[in-house]
Structure 1
Amino acid sequence: MKKSILTFLLLFCFYMYSYGQDKTKIERAALDYIEGFYVGDTTKIKRSIHKDLSKIGYGRRSKGYKEHIMTYEKALNFSRDVAKNPQYAAPKGAVKKIEILDAQDKIACVKLTVYWGIDYLLMVKHDDKWMITKVVWQAVEK
């Protein structure tokens, strides 16, 4: 019985240590995504977004919403535009809230609260690196 409890505790500690490392890496990928768009840093976009990105979102318009679709290349181009035109950058002190909704060994789901609205990220782990593959977002009322 003591061996069973000890084995369980060791496995639990290993799991918690492993999750802690992944949690930090997941948060880093989410923060790179946010900052890549906030300040126009393509290095952070490349580091956090998988080349097979599929992003769809809904921005507020005077008569409802407008659908926006973004690929990996469009994400890079948008980030470049922000870098070239500081008026497109996020306001100083803009919100960057990251909530890990679920994380497994190879997949994770993250909710972001950012200045343009709410983003839900689906991530995968490739070679010990977390990458964003899918994003759905919606602008929120200010």
Structure 2
Amino acid sequence: MLVQKITQLLFVVSLLGGSQLFAQNAAVDSVSLALNDYIDAFYYGDTSKIHRSIDPGVHKYGYYRPRNGSTYEGSAMPFREMLEYATGVMKKGKNSNVEKFPRKVEVYEVLDKTACGKVTAWWGTDYVLLAKLDGRWKITNVLWQSPAPKQ
């Protein structure tokens, strides 16, 4: 009788642990989707992915080196400019090399309300903060840098 109760208890505990693991994996997948939407928006000019995965109040700021420049300059890109950039990409048409562009998404941590990750793309490296807003993961902050000079 005692063995049966312990077995039942262990079964219930394993189910609960499994459901937490499933929920955690689903959250990581959802954050990864938002980070991939972010890249796709700029690679393919897909504004629907901006609307789906980026909060309109996003703060994006980054550092780039102008051509033939040796020092970095800073630049902000608000939500409206993200949409304009993506629209410009769409108007130019698909770049035949886009599939060869660098693309890496890393999810560092996912909590119940916040998450963070890293995106590597042709323009450089972006560190991304996300929040779960109205049941969906949205990018709220981005800090980026163009590729570092070759040494």
How does the TM-score come out when normalised to structure 2?
0.84
The whole-number CA distance in structure 2 between the counterparts of 1:139 and 1:89 is 22
Q: Distance in 1 between matches of 2:103 and 2:124?
A: 11
Cα distance in structure 2, aligned partners of 1:133 and 1:31: 15
Largest Rg, 1 or 2: 2
Aligned to 1:105, the other structure's residue is in SS state coil
Q: Give the superposed CA RMSD.
A: 2.2
- Is the 1:94–1:115 Cα contact (8 Å) retained in structure 2? yes
Which residue number in structure 1 is paired with residue 115 of structure 2? 108
Aligned 8 A contact 1:39 1:89 in 2: no
Residues 110 and 140 of structure 1, relative CA distance in 2, 3 Å threshold: same
5+ unaligned residues in a row in structure 2: which ranges? none
Higher strand share goes to which structure? 1
- The one of 22, 34, 43 aligned to 2:27: 22
Shift of residue 8, structure 1, vs aligned partner: 3.7
Kindly indicate whether residue 65 of structure 2 is the aligned counterpart of residue 60 of structure 1: yes
Give how far 1:68 is off.
1.0
Shift in alpha-carbon separation, 1:63–1:89, aligned structure 2, 3 A: farther
* 1:128–1:49 Cα change, 3 Å: same
Residue ranges of structure 1 left out of the alignment (5+ in a row): none
Displacement, 1:10? Answer: 2.6
Alignment CA distance shift 1:131-1:89 (3 Å): farther
1:46 is aligned to 51
Give the aligned partner of residue 17 of structure 2: 12
CA drift at 1:90: 6.9
Of 101-110 and 74-83, the range deviating more from structure 2:
74-83
Native 8 Å contact 1:112 1:120 kept in 2: yes
Q: Percent identity?
A: 33
Which residue of the partner structure matches residue 132 of structure 1? 139
Question: What's the offset of the Cα at 1:89?
Answer: 8.9
**For residues 33-82 of structure 1, what are the alpha-carbon distances to aligned partners after superposition, in whole Å with 9 as ceiling and x for unaligned?**
10101111111111110011000000122121111101111111111122
Mapped to 2, the partners of 1:84 and 1:105 lie a distance apart of: 38
Alignment size in residue pairs:
142
Q: How far apart, in 1, do the equivalents of 2:96 and 2:35 lie?
A: 17
Asked whether the equivalents of residues 108 and 118 of structure 2 are also in contact (C-alpha less than 8 Å), the reply is yes
Question: TM-score with structure 1 length normalisation?
Answer: 0.89
